[in-house]
Amino acid sequence: MPSTRYSPAHFSRSVDLTLHRLRVGHGIPDSAAPIARIIERVTADSFQQRERDRMREEAAAVQQRYSNQALELCVSRIPAGMPKQASAEPIAATALLGGVACRGVPCSPALLSQMATHLRDHGVAALRRLPIARLLTILDQASLLWLDPSYEKRSLAIEAIHRWTGFSREMVIHSIDLEMRSSRRLDLWRTLWTELGNPRVLDGRAWCPSGESPCLAFGPSLIGAVFSSNIPALPHLTYMRGLAVKSPVLGKVASNEPIFAAQYIDTLIELCPELAPALAALWFPGGSQELESALLSQADCVIAYGSDSALQGLSRAIPPESRRLLHGHRMGFGAVDHRGLQDPELAKQMAYDFAVFDGQACLAPVVYFVETELSGAEALAQAVGRELQALATWLPARTMRPEDRAAREHKVQQWEVQAVFGSEALRVVRAPGRALHWAGLVSEGEYIPQQLGDRLFHIHCIRSLDDVVPHVRPFSRYLQNVALSATGPAREQLAVRLAGLGVSRVNRPGRMATPSMMWHHDGRLCIAELVRWADIA
Amino acid sequence: MDTTRLKTDVCGFLEHPGDDVRFGELALRMFRWHLDAMPKYRAFCLRRAADPSRIDDWRKIPPLPVEAFRYAELSCSTPAAIAQRFSTSGTSGQKDPRRGRGVAAFDRAALDVMDVAIRVNAARHLFPDQLKCRIFVLAPRPEDVPHMIMAHGMRHLMSVFGDAQSAFVASKDGLDVERLLEGLASATSDGVPVCLIGASFAFVNLLDGLAASGRTVAALPKHSRIMDAGGYKNRSRELTPEVFRELVGRAFGVPDSHLVNLLGMTELASQIYDNALSDTGSDRVRCKTPPAWVRTRVVSIDDQTVDAKPGELGFLVHYDLANFSRPLALISDDLGYVVAGGFNITSRVKSSEPRGCSVSLDELWRQA
């Protein structure tokens, strides 16, 4: 159990949790937004400074703690009660920075099948014995533990994920913080209340606003999950969603980030050993069809993250009657009108949106449309560049493989060539000096999407906000997340049009990467879509 | 700028290579001319150097990304004075499908210098034994494919090093396998060594086709050689260089020492051969060896003004004096590393697929 300490440090952390919540706007009703904004502005500087200091200090402490230490981790977790498995073997993937080795239990279709049966038979029973209130308390405690810099698993995960993926320690810290701060008791209860009408339908027959009579709700008897590696610590969301509907989860971890899932499972089991028969994590190489089929054919609900082509491959292995929540490629963008452009915070907010998770999240913008001329946009781009430079002091860029660095350099070379030799009006801004810390493309006219990420950004000039819809309409299938800075009725009008086109989240600049766990991810309900109902008169 | 004098000096250097100082002197003379004669190239150089006309070391000449050839016809001559336009291959990691192939524009002087380069280079690296061969080129005649620089170069090569029965054995519709096999058979019966030249994919497709129909080729006469270039461009299965040489060497009975790979880029007037035939020392490592008038640097990915360390992956930057009235310093989209006596290419730059649910531009384009 987490220790409850009423020290000044603890108090300050609680204050900062609240301030963070104000900043990301989770659960703040419209009516309270103006006051929240005032508090946010007043506290911004000191809060940000504390956050940055804390992250820097923690990163330094973690580095110090594990310096000269080779790490070895097992990425598989076998549910309690299963027969002893063959010992774990090194997985066929390596750490980008070295210094950490990962082992996993060798997978076979037979093992997956056996495990699925075990999770269904024993995991469901174990979870149904626990009241939902208890499960949500455990999840809240897990989040609190993972927010505690002195929690050993957190330090280990930060160092190991940093070494494996090349993400900076600070970025891993930030990622874990964002995930866990939006996974608190209040968030969970609120999600369950709003999506189910009454969380107690998961415990037994209970009144509920939907249905013809009091009802019961059941989560899937097995959630099969396929994780991606683009955001550190992301698997926690799927395990949390599973437990919130009393479903066992069998997760296949990504070769590029195999570490977090097993550590999180350990936390949950530490907090509540009864969960042990219901949680499992495995690694096998992505694209192994036989193993994927064995995993997915056994699950009555599949949650998967990945590229469209990877998801297409998985889709074929999912039985038609199973539920599926497949999160494929998405396109985010920002739009700012001429008044939004005057906001002195805009460049900083844009820099954060482009830089967080090094642009690897589906939430990341691929462009900011800005209502201005080319020269105004170029000035904004310079300002965003300066902010990126400043941001790198507390959220350093990830380390990349040489081939990826070359691709990034090449991309900027292409922009520069296009700006000089091409017919379109383009400007390219880049970090001073030879190292390419950041670079931005400024364009106007026809919008052509660019592959960004890793501190590259794109600003496209528009004459008015009316240009946004035609620019993004060709990509409507991919639209998801939008930052919109505009005033008056124009903002809502555009937001509504974008929503009609397929956008599932409109927020303001600086908040693109921080949805709460309550958001309609890809326009869907994250809890309600998992459950099956029974009306019992 | 006295370009006639410059041309004479450059051709002189090609025929009788001088030292690094002389190379640098010629490179800088050319560069200053290029700055004056190509305003867009000057605009690009201004992004890299405050005052490019004062650059005093050939290593500091800003290399132009080959991508530029897709947007502009880069020549010191006016469009009317362009004698020949060749298409670039269009495989350089291009993501925007609406952008076409690039163009390399040669005026008369540039063609003349290129022809000298082709001859001197082949004499050094493909025919160091000064052998007269029967040359078969697995490509259409230059008249049929005027935009293909390889066909132009091979015609010139054939006229200098080939015997009268040398031939192009493809048409625009594809390889004429029967004609090639007849040609090889007659060379074998005449006892004349063969030099077989073609794109790497053409060899693979030829041999796959022969294997499928259960046919084989008789071993080529002694001293025969094979030169491949250009990679695969998704037009055949892709082989590693080792597997390619194994396959081709076995099929034609040609020893590994007589299998030469060539790096040819339409944007460069010079080709870069590997050292299979030119370097017969016992401890040689196979690598690309630029001729004396080409300097290839492998530059650091993170700071392209400094050389990559030996063995470290970097961008290839070519400084080619034979790019006479065209930008002489080019940064290619090949990645490679330095070895003693030259360099090796590992791969082309390609952006890695984004992971997870972040957007892939390819998908977006397919969708749009």
CATH of the domain at A219: 3.40.605.10
- Asked whether residue A368 falls in the same domain as residue A254, the answer is no
- Asked whether residue A276 falls in the same domain as residue A411, the answer is no
pLDDT at B362 (0 to 100)? 54
User: To which residue do tokens 């013809």 refer?
Assistant: A212
pLDDT at B365 (0 to 100)? 52
Q: Return d(Cα A301, Cα A530) in angstroms, integer.
A: 7
Residue B71 Cα distances to A325, B103, B316, B323, angstroms: 44, 8, 21, 18
- Asked whether residue A153 falls in the same domain as residue A13, the answer is yes
pLDDT at A499 (0 to 100)? 95
pLDDT at A434 (0 to 100)? 84
- Asked whether residue A233 falls in the same domain as residue A346, the answer is no
Nearest to B333 among A361, A402, A410 (CB): A410
CA-nearest residue to B99 within chain A is A422
pLDDT at B200 over 60: yes
Chain B hits for A305, CB-CB cut-off 8 Å, are 356-357
Nearest to A451 among B44, B335, B351 (CB): B351
CB A163 within 8 A of CB A498: no
Contact A451 B349 (CB under 8 A): no
Contact B349 A407 (CB under 8 A): yes
pLDDT at A335 over 70: yes
Contact A474 B353 (CB under 8 A): no
The helix (run of H) or strand (run of E) holding residue B103 is: strand B103-107
Considering only CA atoms, which of A286, A275, A284, A332 is closest in space to residue A503? Answer: A332
**For residue B174, with 0-12 CB atoms within 10 Å meaning exposed, 13-18 middle and 19 or more buried, which class applies?**
exposed
Decide if A531 is inside a domain. Answer: no
Q: Return d(Cα A337, Cα A356) in angstroms, integer.
A: 23
The pair of structure tokens assigned to B159 is 């006229």
- Asked whether residue A287 falls in the same domain as residue A418, the answer is no
Q: Which of A305, A329, A353 is the last residue of a domain?
A: A329
Could you tell me what percent of chain A has a pLDDT over 70?
A: 99
- Asked whether residue A140 falls in the same domain as residue A29, the answer is yes
The helix (run of H) or strand (run of E) holding residue A290 is: helix A289-298
pLDDT at B94 over 50: no
Cβ neighbours of residue B173 closer than 8 Å, sequence gap 6 or more: none
The DSSP bridge pattern shows strands A249-252 and A223-226 to be parallel
Q: How many degrees, rounded to 5, is the angle at CA A202 between CA A197 and CA A206?
A: 60
Chain mean pLDDT for chain B: 89
Residues in chain B: 368
Confidence of residue B99 (pLDDT cuts 50, 70, 90): low
Residue B214 Cα distances to B177, B209, B210, B211, B218, angstroms: 14, 9, 6, 5, 13
C-alpha A150 chain-centroid distance:
23
Distance from the Cα of A456 to chain B's closest Cα (Å) equals 13
Complex prediction ipTM = 0.89
Decide if A522 is inside a domain. Answer: no
Q: Which of A329, A346, A363 is the last residue of a domain?
A: A329
Cβ neighbours of residue B335 closer than 8 Å, sequence gap 6 or more: A402, A403, A406, B313, B314, B315, B316, B345, B346, B347, B348, B349
Strand partners, B100: none
CB A465 within 8 A of CB A482: no
Residue of A85 and B219 predicted with greater confidence: B219
Decide if A520 is inside a domain. Answer: no
Q: Which of A329, A357, A380 is the last residue of a domain?
A: A329
User: DSSP letter at B129?
Assistant: T
Decide if A200 is inside a domain. Answer: yes
Chain A hits for B331, CB-CB cut-off 8 Å, are 413
Nearest to A417 among B67, B312, B356 (CB): B67
Mean pLDDT for the stretch of residues A300-318 = 88
Confidence of residue B359 (pLDDT cuts 50, 70, 90): low
Contact B71 A410 (CB under 8 A): no
User: What total number of domains does chain A contain?
Assistant: 2
Nearest to B356 among A230, A332, A405 (CB): A230
The DSSP bridge pattern shows strands B64-65 and B329-339 to be parallel
Instruction: Give the start-end residues of each E strand in A16-138.
Output: 71-74, 89-90, 100-104
CB atoms within 10 A of CB A365: 25
- Asked whether residue A177 falls in the same domain as residue A201, the answer is yes
Chain A hits for B313, CB-CB cut-off 8 Å, are 402-403, 406
Confidence of residue A142 (pLDDT cuts 50, 70, 90): very high
pLDDT at B66 over 50: yes
- Asked whether residue A378 falls in the same domain as residue A336, the answer is yes
Contact B40 A421 (CB under 8 A): yes
The 10s digit of each residue's pLDDT in A210-256 is 999 999 999 999 999 999 888 888 899 999 999 999 999 999 999 99
Mean pLDDT for the stretch of residues B250-268 = 93
Considering only CA atoms, which of A258, A31, A60, A292 is closest in space to residue A168? Answer: A60
Which of B299, B358, B360, B366 would best serve as a mutation to test chain A binding (most A beta carbons within 10 A)?
B358
- Asked whether residue A373 falls in the same domain as residue A495, the answer is yes
| Percent helix, strand and coil across chain B, each to the nearest 5 | 35, 25, 40
The 10s digit of each residue's pLDDT in A413-460 is 999 999 999 888 899 999 998 889 999 999 999 998 888 999 999 999
Nearest to B358 among A230, A402, A414 (CB): A230
The 10s digit of each residue's pLDDT in A153-168 is 999 999 999 999 999 9
The pair of structure tokens assigned to A480 is 């998801």
Residue of A12 and A53 predicted with greater confidence: A53
- Among residues 159-218 of chain B, which lie with CB inside 8 Å of chain A? none
Q: Return d(Cα A203, Cα B276) in angstroms, integer.
A: 76
Nearest to B93 among A359, A410, A420 (CB): A410
pLDDT at B250 (0 to 100)? 94
Give the CATH number for residue A338. 3.40.309.10
Confidence of residue B351 (pLDDT cuts 50, 70, 90): low
SS3 call for B244: helix
- Asked whether residue A275 falls in the same domain as residue A341, the answer is no
pLDDT at B100 (0 to 100)? 63
User: To which residue do tokens 């939004």 refer?
Assistant: A340
Counting one residue from chain A and one from chain B, the pairs whose CB atoms sit within 8 A come to 152
Which of B352, B359, B365 would best serve as a mutation to test chain A binding (most A beta carbons within 10 A)?
B359
CA-nearest residue to B69 within chain A is A421
- Asked whether residue A29 falls in the same domain as residue A137, the answer is yes
Which of A421, A438, A501, A522 would best serve as a mutation to test chain B binding (most B beta carbons within 10 A)?
A421
Q: Return d(Cα A123, Cα A79) in angstroms, integer.
A: 8
Decide if A473 is inside a domain. Answer: yes
The 10s digit of each residue's pLDDT in A403-423 is 999 999 999 999 999 999 988
Contact B357 A329 (CB under 8 A): yes
Decide if A263 is inside a domain. Answer: yes
- Asked whether residue A45 falls in the same domain as residue A102, the answer is yes
SS3 call for B118: helix
Residues of the domain holding A72: 8-79+87-329
Residue of A12 and B138 predicted with greater confidence: B138
The 10s digit of each residue's pLDDT in A275-290 is 999 999 999 988 888 9
User: To which residue do tokens 């929503």 refer?
Assistant: A499
Decide if A518 is inside a domain. Answer: no
Considering only CA atoms, which of B82, B142, B117 is closest in space to residue B273? Answer: B117
pLDDT at B279 over 90: no
Strand partners, B40: none
Chain A hits for B105, CB-CB cut-off 8 Å, are none
Which of A231, A238, A410 would best serve as a mutation to test chain B binding (most B beta carbons within 10 A)?
A410
Decide if A524 is inside a domain. Answer: no
Chain B hits for A308, CB-CB cut-off 8 Å, are 360, 363
pLDDT at B346 over 80: yes
Distance from the Cα of B94 to chain A's closest Cα (Å) equals 10
Considering only CA atoms, which of A48, A396, A321, A20 is closest in space to residue A184? Answer: A20
Residue of A109 and A30 predicted with greater confidence: A109
Mean pLDDT for the stretch of residues A455-468 = 96
Residue of A239 and A32 predicted with greater confidence: A239
Contact A478 B364 (CB under 8 A): yes
